[in-house]
Chain A
């Protein structure tokens, strides 16, 4: 394919869009509809997962250290826990003095606790885990560390959140894949219909000795432009809808602030990339696979 023909090939591609105006319109509409559905679902899932993630961050294990140990020995227990493995995200040592202070502060400095001695309490560590599904295993490992007297943790709650997160992940991946496959099928069928219109033209091109690349190129240009157009429109729509919906929900919530939504700006870059990739894929793969059927002459 010579560079001097590029102008002709591009012109043919663009001409094709207008020549088959209705088909082009249909292909763009289908792309937009599919991408908006996928995009909305993905942003919903993302927001829910951020909320669940935030809640799960509060799951922690409290480790109480044997009160017969000296302060230095207690600190070394903390170090041992810290070295326990990958699942320890954070392990903060809280001395009994600090713990008492926190306790009194938590109770609004109630005079009832005035005479309380730090020795009523034990040195402790507050452990936050990387992966809360392993909470029980990690808790057992911590208990096995010499010098650890006791631990407390909300196992059921943490497991519940982890479960929700996992289910959400699996379901969303499944639904998004299905939506993408369905979109691709619909779009490739739309392109195929458009292509069927031109099978005579393709047969003539083959007859006079056009190479497959030369025949395909204008169709690819057409598919590319339609795919990108669909992606751009879908992106704009998604943005408007998202911001509109978030504003509406915030208004309804008023002061309550039950849920805070991720601002669209956070989703912007991944969404632009995904939509552009999907548009490109759908446009080019959609037209390529459908041309192939008419190429074997």
Chain B
């Protein structure tokens, strides 16, 4: 009759992984609320396509490529952890950080050329949304870069808690997914 388990009754998923996924669930709601507000505002107003045409699709496409590639290097860092390859881990983490910084650099270039062309957050509702959404996303990228940089430093000293790479990766891929949606929302429609 007794159904007592021999060990803990808790599921055998890593606590860190459960925690990160819960955190990401709340992040989905944050970006989802913002994107949902953008979608309904855009559908409810006219003339936003004309505003969006001022954005540079090629630059944003290159930035998308950068972020997608950084996702690959991040997951390869995790692959290196699994294979027990500390050199590979350091290399891929370094590449991920570099690609993240490249993304922010290109984004900064975009911002400055748009502001120079006279499009600031107060130019109109489209631009308010554009700067708020990409700005919030850029802050998330920055947080990811700092996390990955910290992991890189730890990896140089010999990372002990190795599943941290997997957890940081989950966050980094989430930030990538947000951009996968921001790109068509803002640039392609």
Query: Do chains A and B stick together as partners?
Result: no
